[in-house]
Every structure is written in C-alpha cells, then in structure tokens.
Amino acid sequence: MSKVRYSAFKVLKEALSGHKGWEPVWRDAEPKTEGYDVIIVGGGGHGLATAYYLAKNHGITNVAVLERGWIGSGNVGRNTTIIRSNYLLPGNEPFYELSMQLWENLEQDINYNAMVSQRGIMNLIHSDAQRDAFVRRANSMLFADAGAEYLNQDDIKDRYPFLDVKNARFPIKGALSQPRGGTVRHDAVAWGYARAASNLGVDIIQNCEVKGFNIDNGVCSGVKTTKGDIKAGRVAVCVAGSSGRVMAQAGIKLPIESHVLQAFVTEGLKPVMDNVITFGAGHFYCSQSDKGGLVFGGDIDAYNTYAQRGNLPVVEDVCSGGMAIMPMIGRARLLRSWGGIMDMSMDGSPFIDKTEINELYFNGGWCYGGFKATPASGYCYAHLLATGEYHEVASAFRLDRFRRGAMIDEKGVGPQPNLH
Amino acid sequence: MNQINRIKGGIVDQSSELSFTFNGQSLKGYQGDTLASALLANNKHLVGRSFKYHRPRGIFTAGSEEPNAIMEIGTGAYQEPNTRATVTQLHDGLIANSQNHRGPLSFDFMAITDMFSPLLSAGFYYKTFMWPKAFWEKIYEPAIRNSAGLGRLSKQEDPDTYDKGFRYCDILIVGAGASGLSAALTAASSGAKVILADEDFLMGGRLNSETNEIDGMTGPQWAMNAVAKLNTMDNVTLMPDTTIFGAYDHGIYGAIENRANEARENNAKPRQVNWRIYSKRTILCAGATERAIAFGNNDRPGIMLASAVRTYLNRFAVATGESISVYTNNDDGWRTAKDLIDKGVNVEAVIDSRKISPVMEVPGARTFMNTNVVNTKGRRAIKSIKLSNGKTINTDTLAVSGGWNPNLHLTCHHRGVPKYNENICSFVPGESAPEGMTVAGRANGTMVLAKAIEEGHNKGIEAAKELGFDAKKSEHARTDNINYNITANWGVESGKERAWVDYQNDVTVKDIRLANLEGFKSVEHVKRYTTLGMATDQGKTANVLAIGVMSENLGKSVDDTGTTIFRPPYSPVAIGAFAGRRRAKEFYPTRYTPSHKWADEKGAVFVEVGMWYRAQWFPKQGETFWRDSVDREVRQTRASVGVCDVTTLGKIDLKGSDISEFLNRVYANAFAKVPVGKTRYGLMLREDGMAMDDGTTARLAEDHFVMTTTTANAVSVYRHLQFCHQCLWPDLDVHMISVTEQYAQYAVAGPNSRKLLQKIVDPDFDISNEALPFMGATELTVCGGTPARLFRISFSGELAYEIAVQTRYGDSLMRAIMEAGDEFDVVAYGTEALGVMRIEKGHAAGPELNGQTSAYDLGMGGMISGKKDFIGYTLGMREELQRDDRMQMVGFKPVNTGDLLQAGAHLVNIGDEPITYNDQGWISSCIYSPIMEHYIGLGFIKNGQNRKGETVRAVDLLRGNDVEVEIVSPHFVDPEGERLRV
Amino acid sequence: MIINHPLLGPRDSEEFVYLGSTDLINRPDWESGTAAEDFHQYQYIRENVAGDNPELWYHEQGDQSWLVVTRNTLTHEIKSVELAADYARRMGRSK
C-alpha cells in the first residue's frame, strides 16, 4: 500500500534519482471473496470521495469502489472545473458551502495538490429584475457565510476591460461575485481521493462493471459484476450519468433524465482572464486554466441522450454567447469539445438518499453541477451510509420530495429537466 | 541571403515573389508557399519554443498536424495566436512572430526551465506546492499562470467577420488526395450531387508531395486534371482550403472554409465561412499522417518527418538542408532519400531500424540497417546524430519516419473505436463509423497508392448506387504498386537522454514511464496525467507513438493497451467562425414596438425586455434623475390619464366551440362561464401546481376568445397551450394562433381615460360605464373606421382600458391618443411607471411569478376551484405546498418611512441573527411610491397572510441595509378597488 | 439532427423545441382514488430509456405542431415521426 508522502522534498529527491521511487498513486485491487461492509458503485469523484470520508470520518475501511472503466472516467474527468457556493435556496446553499470549505482544506487533508484555485466567479447582470434576483441570491449566500460581492458597471470595466459592457445586445449593468469561487484541476480530484482512500485501506477495483444487484426480500446484499458476485453490507450507487441504467437493474425508476452537456477548451493562450465569468442571459461561461486554455460551456443539448456527444447548434450558440460579451475571443480557436452525460433531475437538485430497497443507497441527479459538490457529496453520503441519518446540510436531497411537494427548484422552471 | 534553400521546380510560382516578415526580419517567398515552406526556403529552422521546457523548436511537418511551428500572425487586433505555419498560405505582407518566449527566440530566458526538467516530471505539481497552505494561490499558482499559455490574444475585439452557410449534397468526400479524387470522379459521373472538400488550399493531397506517376502523368498533373474535370461538372462543388472538422448526427458535417489568404487589415470580406453540410453519404479519404520515433533529443530543429522533407522538396522546391539523413522503420522513409538524390540534394545516411537488406540503392549515402539513432546534438539546429552502433554522423536535417497513421478522426466522432492493424503498425477505423460514412484509401489503412485509388474509385460507385444513382463501370487510374512494409519501432533506449513523444507539451518517454509506474495504465489516464496529446496539435503525431511506448512499458500488445478516440473539431476552429454574424448587438434579434418611432421622437429611454426594446421612461427637459420622470408619470396618470405601450404582452387568438372548456382546464380559476363581452383575469399553473403565467382573456363571441400573456412567457404559454390541445385533448374544437405582433396594444389609464377614449372611439360606440363596465370587452372602430378592440382592464388600479388595433395602425393610434389627450394633460409612461403602479396596486408580476410560487403562495388560493380538473390542480394539493408556513406574498413598508427598502433583502424576525436557519422570506419587488411617498415592497414571508401588522427586519447584507418593515396588505393604493369601477 | 416532419419533410432540429417522453401525453384522471400518486408518477418519474424513446418535439419555427419522434437515445437514430395528435388519439386521448 502506498504511503509515500508527497512534498517538494520528495519530488527533489526523486528528481535526483531518476524518479524510480514512486509508487502507484492508488492500489489496484481485485474483489475480496468475503465481501465488504460497503460497496460503492462508481469510481468517479463522488464515489471516491465517499470512500475516503467513510474511512476517514467513520472508520469504515472495508470498502470497495467498483469502476466500470478507469477511475475518474465520468463527469469528474469531463467538466469545466468550476467550484462555487452561490446558491439561492436553503436546501442547497449550506450544502455547497460545506463543499467549498472542504475544497479549501482539501490539499492538506488528502496530501494531493488538486490545484484548488479561488480566483473568483462572477455572474453578469443585465436588467433590474435580474439584479434583484441576484441580490436575493447574494443575501442567501451571505446568510450562509459563503461570501458575496456586488460589482457595478465601473468595477467590471476596470477589472475586465475586454468585456463589452456598453455595446452588447444586453449591456452589462453589474455582477454578483463570489470571490471564493474558482476552479480545481478536475482529474486530480479523482486521483487525490483515490490515493487517500486507498491509503486508508479502501479497495479500488477498475474495469469492474456492475451488471445487477443481489436483492432478496427487499434487501440488497451485494452486486453482480463482470468480476463475479461481490457481497456487501451496504451498496451505495454513485454513477451520475448512468443512474437510470444502473438503478433500473434494481427495478427503480428515478426522477431523472439523461442529457448531454458539451464543454469546450481553446488552444493555450497567455493569461487574459483570472476568474470565472458567467453570462447567464447568453448561456455562456468561461474561465482560463492554468495551462492557458479558455474553458467554456453553455446549455445542455436539450434532448434525452446517453451518447457522449452533442450537436452543432449548441456549439454555435455557446460561441455566440462568448462573442456577445467577449469579442476578443473571436481569434481564439476551439481546440477540443467533449460531452458528458448529466443526470438531469426534475428540479435541478440532487439526491443523497436511501431507496425503497434496504441497504441500497442512491446518490445522483447532480445535473451539470456535480463537480463542485464532490467533497460534500462524498462527505454527506458517507455520513448517511455510516450512520443511517441524513447529514444536516443534505437533508433536503430526498427521492420522495416530489411526492411531498418539497422541490428544490433554484431556477423555478418546474419539472422539465432540460430547462434546469 | 534570399531563399538559399530554394531549388527549381515545385508547385510554387517562382515568378511571383511575395514579401513577409518573421520576427521583424523581411523575407521573400513565392505564390503557392505556406509560411512554413517560405521560412524553410530562407533556412529558418528555429521557429518556436515548446510549452513546458521552452526547448528550441523547428518546423516538424508540412500539414495540419504540426506541433512546433505555431506562431502569431498579424498585428494589433488582427493578431492571431497559435497559427500553424504549415497550413498558413503565404500572402504578400504577411507578418509572423514566434511566441512563448521571453527575450529573443534564440535566447529564450524561460529555457532555464529545461535545466530543471528532472524536477518538472509528469504530474509534479500534484505532489507539491501544498505548503504553506496560503502560498498556492498567492505565489505558486500565479507563477505557473504567468508562464502558461502559448500565443497571445490581442485583447481587442476581433475586427474580422465570419459567415455561416449551408450546403446540401448526396455524397460528401472528405479529402481530395488520390482516393478522394477517384471517389469524386465516379460518384460525380453518376449524377449524384457531390461536395469534395480538402483542408489544403491546393487539392491533390500527398500526390502534390510525391513523385508517383499516375496514368502516365506526374501525380500533381493527374490531380490537377481530375480537379479540372470535376470543376466542369454542375453537380460537383469543390471546397479547397476547407476543413471538415466534425461529424454530427444524421449526415450533418461542420466545415470551416478559410478565406484568409490575403492581408486581413481592413479587409471587408469574411475571414472564414462556417459551413453546415447536409449529406446522405460520406466517403472519408483523409489520408494518413506520419509519426516519429522516440529517441534521445529527437526534438531539435532540423529533425522533421520524412514525409515533410519530401513535401518541401517536391511541392515547394525547398531543400531543408545540405546534408540530410533519413531514419526510418518502413519502406516509405526511403522515398525521401530517393527524391532528395533525384533532386541533387546530398543524402548523408539512411538508417533503418529493421533487420532487412536496404530497400533501394541510395547513391552517395551511407546505409545502416538494423540500426537506430540514439541521440542528437545541436542546440538551435541539429548538427549531428549518434547511432546505436556508436557512429556519429554530421547532418543538418534528420528526416524521421516511424510509419503512417490513418486519419480516421471523423470515424470516431460518434464514439467509434479504432482497432489496431499489425500490418501497418497503426490503428484503422473500427466498426462504428457515423451512419452513412465509409472510408477509403490510406485513411482506411490502405497504404499502397494503387489500391487506395481503386478503393476510392469503388466507394464512389458504391455510395452513388446506394442512393439510387446510375454509377457506370469505368476504369480507375493506374499507378505502380509500391509496397509499404513496416516493422514497429516506437522508441529506442536512449539512456539518460530524453526522448520526446509530444513535442509541444514536452511529454517524453520518461514521463509516460513515470505515469505507468504510478499506476496510470489506461491511455486516458496517461493522457491526463502527462498532458500528452492535449496541445494545439491534439497529438496527431504523438498519440499512436505514445500507445506504442506504453505497450512496451506495460508488456502488453498494442490492442490491449487501448486507444484514445477523437472528438470534434478535427483541427482547431476560431470561436468567431462558430459565432458567425451572431455576436455583439446581433446576438439576439431586436424587436421594436409599434410606438417605438414615436417614443424615440419623444426622447424615451429604452430598455431591453427580452428581445424587445421598450420605453422605460420619458424624460422631460430639466429632469436629470430617472425617478423625476417616473414619479411624474405615475402622479400624472393617477391624477388624470397616462398611456403605455403594452404591445409586448403575448396575445393568443382562440376560436372554436370548446374554447370555454379548454380555458377552464388551462386556467386555475373558473373560465367555463365567461359571458360574451367580458374579460377575466386568469392564473395559469404548471402541472406541478406552480404559477406559470397570468393575464386577461376576453370573450369576444360565443366561439372567440383573445388571451393575453406576460411579455416574458408569450412564446412558452403558446407552446404550452398547443401541447395541451394536441397532446392532451386533441379532439376539443380549439384553434389558436399567436397574434402578439399582429396587434398594437396600449394601456390608457387614469380618471380621464374614458373621456380621452371617447374622443378616439367612433361615435357609434358607447363606452360609458354602463355600456362597458369594469372587465368589459368589445370590438369597435376608432378614428373614423379603424377596427379596434377595447378591454376595460386595469393593471394600475385606475379606471383603465387597453386598446388594440392592427399593428399597421399602431403608430397613428399612439399619435391620435396623445393628441386627443392634450386637453387632459395626458402623459406617456414607460415600464418603470408601469411597475410602480402595479406594485402600488399589489399585482404580482415576474419577480413574484418566479416559478417557485404557487397560487396559494400568491394569495390566490381562493380563486382555485376544487370542482374542476385543471393543469396544476392535483400536484398543487401536495402536503408541502399546502403548509401554513409556506412563504406567502404580502406587502411591506418601512416602519420608519424615510428608510430605503430594496428588492433582494431577506426577512428575519426581530432579534434573530441573519443566518440561513432564521431566514423568513424575501422582498421580491420594491419601489418608491410617489403616492405613498415612501418605499413599498412586495415579498414573501412564512405564513405571511396571517402576520399582517407584524414588524420584521429586511436585511440586505450585500448592500449593508437593515431596516424594520411592517407586514401589510399588498394593495397599497385603493385596496377596495373603487377607482377602477367608476 | 434532422427530423423528418410527416407533413413538411426533413427539417433541422434547430427548428424544434424538445419537451420529453411521450409519457407526458398520458395525463392521469384527477378523480381517481390514486390521483395524487398517479400525477406524481406522471410528472416526475421517468423511464429515461436507453434505446428507442418516443418523445415530444414541438415545431416552433414551423407549423407549431407537436410531433412524436421515436429516437434512439444511444445513437440518435430516428425511427419514426408522426403528429402527436394522432399518437395521442391512439393512446385514447380525445376531449
């Protein structure tokens, strides 16, 4: 088991000896025949974080994370790397704020530099009504101690001279800023959690696809996989993007649709912008990575799909959104596009819950906002799995909330997933 | 010296000299050159720096796969970063500058990072920069960001334009090389509509770079003839300089046509055209790309792909050096030596890693079989190579061929997975290419030219036949069968020396080994850990090589090692081209209301409302602050009469015998028995019970209603009604059409509104309080016979009407109303005064109907009938939505009437801390009321309807405002509703 | 994508607005004893089919017809397109 501690000193030492002393970042395991206390289905960011917090916070280390392909191959490896806790509703905001606090201490916690970079996130405002709505949201953030600032037109012009403040189709009248928002090196989150969990004894099993659940008398006792049946005290599904297909194997239908969200990155450019800019009215958001690429995206493709690819109308729409406010990017070239499958829930908010089958738990429905939630999702899911109780900040993320009428609908667009 | 490396011949016009500058130095080239060929003609090998170690970089390829020769083209706002010199057509006056270095290109200060390269191994940053905690964001990251990136954006608005176009064809052929031209000839001869596109500005593909004979002609001649023949056919569209960058669903392809082969400065023509091509069949004939071999210091300027050396020699008449060596693992590399000799260029040595006899005689050159290159020397240009047999050879160009990789990228755009082919030591298209796509020629792994031609020829026929065209049998072009034999050679043991795989991102064999050692064994993991293949060239020359290196590290077959797939775009595309004309002001359409011209004449201030521009207020001379105008407009309206353009409200005309029933199902309140000549307020819910929209609907005849919606929801409500009709109740006799822009509609409000309208309405029509009471609706004529509709409805709370005429009369009607109102001191009011009056009257609008509020929350629970089914009834009854402590809409006024109250503030009970747990609600709309003479607000607070009279705090932490407010009725002005009934 | 409109021929999907599964046609009976649960299932719980999915598209930039497009959510292949009103009648919807 790798217990190598990462440090500048260690890197220096290895540099002098040809980097021969490094060990695998995580231990590749095969399933134990005696089974596990908890099996986590899905080796993405959320699954790996769940494993880590189960081991670290609750001392539950007889845990396996089962991954169909390679760890981090889902949405944690396919997103626009943004972190923020700028939510409106009380069901959401404290949860995302916990996540932000976990991000802020992540590197020291897991001894892995995931490059958490709090360079700020800014939501542009174009009308009085939008300003009022953002002020309401800002106050929700401040009530939750998440921090928020209002930028007026002059502040924006000073800080971001490349924004077309006055002549845009929708002139920029102000912005809501969360200075603590920012970006994280997304792949490193999966690797860092994998390493930390593995160091605490968690088995990470790649190329192990779950093909079904062993359920008797309403109790789940393990999973059927491409590496055989594996027994488990509890099974925790955490496969956003594939939730529908995986839960169908347990006969459970979900308040979720699968949609594709495209995202884009340009060729590397010398630094032009230091924070995340969100142009909600134009369906465009953008930041610049530490490598220099402008990372940007917009709306989902709007139709149900499991194909990890999108179509041209959205590509053009997103680029138009960029050119509407940042006309300097016209000569920047779009280098790569990718499509991730989103669990679009019926109110735009996620689920961390038990299911109607005993010992089968579900985490999903993150829409296009799962990345920023990774630490808190793992933290709260581990809490639920270990204690059977809902964590205080995640107590609203229940599967039965639609039956009760307790929606958490940030956008107020109702039960139409492609609008969230 | 001018073009010292230029020789005779080539497909450049040596009589047409062009001037350009590189790093400020004036140089010459010819028409037909690329920037890269012109630089090489002038013996400029060092053209850039690598990303991480700032190693000197030379031109490596002759095509779109170029990792090294990327530069900034143009100056000022025209500066375009990261442009590949190898695909940039030379034009007179072109200005090119190298990028990513500090100080001059030849003495890059940042090259110091190369000395620290042992520290900067793959993924080093994940392991360090963590202590002390605060240093990452303050010191480490800024330093990393500072040195990040390649070229610079100008930071100015892109001054060029881009067009968007659509083309349709039966058969799209991607690539105009030997197989693509062959396919086009047969496909086109069948009469099918054919588009032939090639990324190069000169069609012909590799034929232009080679010395093959086809049908007794040189390759370029044959290609030129084929292109000329296709050009005469009406059913063929040739698209040179056009990159098919992506395969999308249902035969739709994205293409970028470059039109930038001339100076851009003040050039009114579009720089590029973004084409969307609709095809029924596609034949991918994109050829192949050569790859390198990993050996010690294989990245020096002067080390090039063997195919590129041939391209520069044969096509551009440039000998890249005076003593050239070739290093290969396949037969094709030998052609470089042969062509060089044939053109009189000295070949120093041919080194072949295979244990075979020499493939051909190369006069004057030393040949080394079963030998590898293990190291090279020369800081800014290669000087010598060291061989595995210990020999050192002085050379100024090393032509490397590690084999050819089919350009199968487009076959992967629908997530098809390529498969490894042992014979060609590379990947070929897998089974799951996009629907309708076939692959021919080298893109398909058919590496022998004669066979590639035949394959293209046949697939052209096949595609045409599949579409029902009569593709006649014909003879395909003939050329010699020249075999392609290869033995895999991914890299050679180079001891301590670094061997590059990805030249731009500085990924070496050691980095890949380290990644493997650290457990990153999936190709995707290695890519992400080392950044391999993530540079501007997307690893076109690197990816397959890396997989080969990995397979050796891991002791697995290449097949088992895996592959990466490709996503659009095939090569990078300017964001401006995707946006096309849709940018800046043209981002969304602009809509003006019928009174816009009049309002503009009156000096109105306009505001964007969705796509509309609406008059926000009408400043009078001397009014310097917006509220001066708004307060005046409100006072004058309430005192006498005001007019406001409300055309933007959605209008839906409904006819049919079942409209009453239909409306009764889509509105939450009762609509079954609205009398003819009456208007009713309607609240529309979503099926989940939340308020969706509201408006008024008038019954003009037994079977004829006209509905209004809010401006914001005009489109979505109409869509919803169509859904309800077509999908839920298809047999109801309901016909509807949106008439939002067919009618101009004005609100005329205030105590004198009737008097004013009586002057407009033709005398035949009685609009007295008796004839047209509150909520009455009628059709009449105005201004001497112009048909109009008049609704006695009020948003302001005053005696008020809305009058609608056909849009063509809108401007005249506004002028007529203002003229008629002169005696009443009529005022035109804008959206601000409209908003003030609706808040004074306590009407919910957008901020209250925000999709999170139910009819009950809005205080309209009483309107809901339990006796009928309607959209939103059942789910609106859910327990959580019926709780007493839901946030309910009420009015607020500051306890101290001098206090400022603003929307967005949250509400807490007196004495409570402003934290999430104590949150009681929020202020949704807020204005200064010139009638009440203090701020008033609408908002939502828990159990609000039972808390009137209670005092709470409105806390706005964002703007530092914290005031005590009283919970009151939302109806501030005329709560009894007397004024609107007079 | 291209949607082959039964009346208007092939049209780019940009002309359409997507809603979701045709399950939304089967609006439950509000007077049924199980109406509360029926409506919950109808509005919130989705089959989320991985395969052929009959779904509702609205021809907003066209004739304002609602269409049932049977499209494969794994490949995006469209198997059939028909008017939603016809489909709804087949499902028993009338007045």
Residue A28 has pLDDT above 90, yes or no: yes
Q: What is chain B's mean pLDDT, rounded?
A: 96
Q: How much is the pTM?
A: 0.96
Contact B448, B294 (CB under 8 A): no
pLDDT single digits (tens) B734-749: 999 999 999 999 999 9
Dist. CA B735–CA B652, nearest whole Å: 10
A130: tokens are 């939008």
Q: CB within 8 A of B564, min separation 6: which ones? A: B523, B524, B527, B533, B539, B543, B547
Q: Which residue shows structure tokens 């290869």?
A: B486
**First CA to last CA across chain C, in angstroms?**
33
pLDDT, mean of residues B900-906: 98
Strand B13-22 and strand A36-41: the pairing is unpaired
Give one word for C60, left, alpha or beta, with left for phi > 0 and alpha for psi -120 to 50. Answer: alpha
Of A272, A311, A307, A314, nearest to A289 (Cα)? A272
The secondary structure of residue B411, as a DSSP letter, is: G
Please tell me the predicted confidence (pLDDT) of residue B506.
Answer: 95
Band of the pLDDT at B264, cuts 50, 70, 90? confident
Taking each helix axis from N to C end, the angle separating B523-530 and A186-199, rounded to the nearest 10 degrees, works out to 110
Taking each helix axis from N to C end, the angle separating B831-841 and B626-639, rounded to the nearest 10 degrees, works out to 60
Taking each helix axis from N to C end, the angle separating A93-104 and A370-387, rounded to the nearest 10 degrees, works out to 100
Residue B261 has pLDDT above 80, yes or no: no
Please tell me the predicted confidence (pLDDT) of residue B211.
Answer: 96
pLDDT single digits (tens) B832-877: 999 999 999 999 999 999 999 999 999 999 999 788 999 999 999 9
Under CATH, which number does the domain B162-288+406-466 receive?
A: 3.50.50.60
Give how far B728 is from chain C: nearest CA, Å. Answer: 6
Homologous superfamily in CATH for domain B596-648+742-837: Probable tRNA modification gtpase trme; domain 1 (3.30.1360.120)
Taking each helix axis from N to C end, the angle separating A370-387 and A186-199, rounded to the nearest 10 degrees, works out to 20
Please tell me the predicted confidence (pLDDT) of residue B267.
Answer: 84
User: Given an 8 Å threshold on Cβ–Cβ distance, is C83 in contact with B687?
Assistant: no
Which of A257, A311, A418 is facing C48, going by the closest CB pair? Answer: A257
Q: CB within 8 A of C69, min separation 6: which ones? A: C3, C54, C55, C56, C57, C78, C80, C81
Residue A2 has pLDDT above 80, yes or no: no
CATH number of the structural domain spanning residue C74 = 3.30.2270.10
Under CATH, which number does the domain B650-738 receive?
A: 3.30.70.1400
Those residues of chain C whose CB sits closer than 8 Å to some CB in chain A are: 1, 13-14, 17-21, 37, 40, 43-50, 53, 55, 71, 73-76
List the beta strands (DSSP E) in B74-135: 80-84, 94-97
Beta bridge partners of B369: B352
- Rg for chain A (alpha carbons), in Å? 21
Residue B977 has pLDDT above 50, yes or no: yes
Contact B74, B80 (CB under 8 A): yes
Dist. CA C12–CA C21, nearest whole Å: 20
Which of B148, B576, B905 is facing A290, going by the closest CB pair? Answer: B148
Fold designation for B883-981: Elongation Factor Tu (Ef-tu); domain 3 (2.40.30)
Q: Which residue shows structure tokens 């079963």?
A: B370
Of B801, B648, B807, nearest to B742 (Cα)? B807
Contact C81, C3 (CB under 8 A): yes
Residue B262 has pLDDT above 80, yes or no: no
Q: In chain B, which residue's Cα lies nearest the Cα of A408?
A: B852
User: Given an 8 Å threshold on Cβ–Cβ distance, is A8 in contact with B136?
Assistant: no
Q: CB within 8 A of B622, min separation 6: which ones? A: none
pLDDT, mean of residues A298-319: 94
Q: CB within 8 A of A395, min separation 6: which ones? A: none
Contact B287, B442 (CB under 8 A): yes
Band of the pLDDT at A341, cuts 50, 70, 90? very high
Kindly list the residues from chain A whose CB atom is less than 8 angstroms away from the CB atom of residue B125. 113, 115
Q: In chain A, which residue's Cα lies nearest the Cα of C43?
A: A415
What total of structural domains would you count in chain C? 1
Please tell me the predicted confidence (pLDDT) of residue B137.
Answer: 83
H or E element: which one contains B284?
Answer: strand B272-284
Which domain covers residue C37, as residue numbers? Answer: 2-90
Band of the pLDDT at B656, cuts 50, 70, 90? very high
Name residue C69's amino acid.
V
Chain A contact partners (≥3 CB pairs within 8 A):
B, C
pLDDT, mean of residues A375-396: 98
Kindly list the residues from chain A whose CB atom is less than 8 angstroms away from the CB atom of residue B916. 90, 93-94, 140, 143-144
Residue B1 has pLDDT above 60, yes or no: no
Name residue A383's amino acid.
H
Name residue A199's amino acid.
N
Kindly list the residues from chain B whose CB atom is less than 8 angstroms away from the CB atom of residue C84. 726-727
Q: CB within 8 A of A248, min separation 6: which ones? A: none
> Does domain B1-151 match CATH 3.20.20.150?
no
Contact B494, B296 (CB under 8 A): yes
CA B212, B218, B223: angle at the middle one, nearest 5? Answer: 100
ipTM of the complex: 0.99
Dist. CA B37–CA B6, nearest whole Å: 9
- Fold matches, B162-288+406-466 and B290-404+485-561: yes
Chain C contact partners (≥3 CB pairs within 8 A):
A, B
Dist. CA B761–CA B748, nearest whole Å: 13
pLDDT single digits (tens) B417-467: 999 999 999 999 998 899 999 999 999 999 999 999 999 999 999 999 999
Kindly list the residues from chain C whose CB atom is less than 8 angstroms away from the CB atom of residue B873. 30
Kindly list the residues from chain B whose CB atom is less than 8 angstroms away from the CB atom of residue A411. 851
Give how far A406 is from chain C: nearest CA, Å. Answer: 12
Q: Give the burial string for A278-307 (b: 16+ CB within 10 Å, else e).
A: bbbbbbbbbbbbbbbbbbbbbbbbbbbbbb
For residue B142, say if its preceding peptide bond is cis, omega within 30 degrees of 0: no
Fold designation for B290-404+485-561: FAD/NAD(P)-binding domain (3.50.50)
Contact B572, A335 (CB under 8 A): yes
pLDDT single digits (tens) A208-231: 999 999 999 999 999 999 999 999
Please tell me the predicted confidence (pLDDT) of residue C20.
Answer: 96
User: Given an 8 Å threshold on Cβ–Cβ distance, is C73 in contact with A416?
Assistant: no
The secondary structure of residue B732, as a DSSP letter, is: S
Residue B130 has pLDDT above 90, yes or no: no
Kindly report which listed range (A2-6, A240-244, B265-269) carries the lowest average pLDDT score.
A2-6
Give how far A216 is from chain B: nearest CA, Å. Answer: 33
The percentage of residues in chain B with a pLDDT greater than 70, rounded to a whole number, is 100
Contact B713, B698 (CB under 8 A): no
Please tell me the predicted confidence (pLDDT) of residue B431.
Answer: 87
Tell me whether residue C95 is in a domain. Answer: no
Instruction: State how far Cα A60 lies from the chain centre.
Output: 24
User: Given an 8 Å threshold on Cβ–Cβ distance, is A306 in contact with C50?
Assistant: yes
Dist. CA B570–CA B593, nearest whole Å: 45
**Best mutation site among B726, B732, B735, B875 for testing chain C: the one with the most C CBs within 10 Å?**
B726
pLDDT, mean of residues B960-977: 96
pLDDT single digits (tens) B300-328: 999 999 999 999 999 999 999 999 999 99
Kindly list the residues from chain B whose CB atom is less than 8 angstroms away from the CB atom of residue C43. 687-688, 875
pLDDT single digits (tens) C20-29: 999 999 999 9
Tell me whether residue C36 is in a domain. Answer: yes
Instruction: State how far Cα B633 lies from the chain centre.
Output: 44
Residues 332-391 (A) with a CB less than 8 A from some CB of C: 346
B624: tokens are 């310097």
User: Given an 8 Å threshold on Cβ–Cβ distance, is A268 in contact with B51?
Assistant: yes
Backbone angles phi, psi at A26, to 5 degrees: -135, 160
The domains of chain A, with CATH numbers, are: 8-14+29-85+87-112+186-255+347-419 (3.50.50.60), 121-182+258-345 (3.30.9.10)
Listed by start position, the domains of chain B span 1-151, 162-288+406-466, 290-404+485-561, 596-648+742-837, 650-738, 883-981
For chain A, the three-class secondary structure string (H helix, E strand, C coil) is CCCCCCCHHHHHHHHHCCCCCCCCCCCECCCCCCCEEEEEECCCHHHHHHHHHHHHHHCCCCEEEECCCCCCCCHHHCCCCEECCCCCCCCCHHHHHHHHHHHHCHHHHHCCCCCCECCCEEEEECCHHHHHHHHHHHHHHHHCCCCCEEEEHHHHHHHCCCCCCCCCCCCCCEEEEECCCEECCHHHHHHHHHHHHHHCCCEEECCCCEEEEEEECCEEEEEEECCEEEEEEEEEECCCCCHHHHHHCCCCCECEEEEEEEEEEECCECCCCCCEEEEHHHCEEEEECCCCCEEEEEEEEEEECCCCCCCHHHHHHHHHHHHHHCHHHHHCEEEEEEEEEEEEECCCCCEEEECCCECEEEEECCCCCHHHHHHHHHHHHHHHHHHCCCCHHHCCCCCCHHHHCCCCCCCCCCCCHHHC
Query: Chains A, B: CB contacts under 8 A, how many?
Result: 366
- Cα torsion A373, A375, A380, A386: sign: positive
User: Given an 8 Å threshold on Cβ–Cβ distance, is C2 in contact with B252?
Assistant: yes
User: Given an 8 Å threshold on Cβ–Cβ distance, is A7 in contact with B127?
Assistant: yes
Residues 284-343 (A) with a CB less than 8 A from some CB of B: 289-292, 307-309, 311-312, 315-316, 318-324, 327-339
Please tell me the predicted confidence (pLDDT) of residue B117.
Answer: 87
Neighbouring CB atoms inside 10 A of B636's CB total: 19
pLDDT, mean of residues A308-319: 95
B844: tokens are 């919910």
Contact A274, A302 (CB under 8 A): no
Dist. CA B7–CA B509, nearest whole Å: 37
Band of the pLDDT at A393, cuts 50, 70, 90? very high
Kindly report which listed range (B132-146, B574-588, B734-748) carries the lowest average pLDDT score.
B132-146
Please tell me the predicted confidence (pLDDT) of residue A1.
Answer: 45
pLDDT single digits (tens) B7-59: 999 999 999 999 999 999 999 999 999 999 999 999 999 999 999 999 999 99
Residue B365 has pLDDT above 60, yes or no: yes
For residue B569, say if its preceding peptide bond is cis, omega within 30 degrees of 0: yes
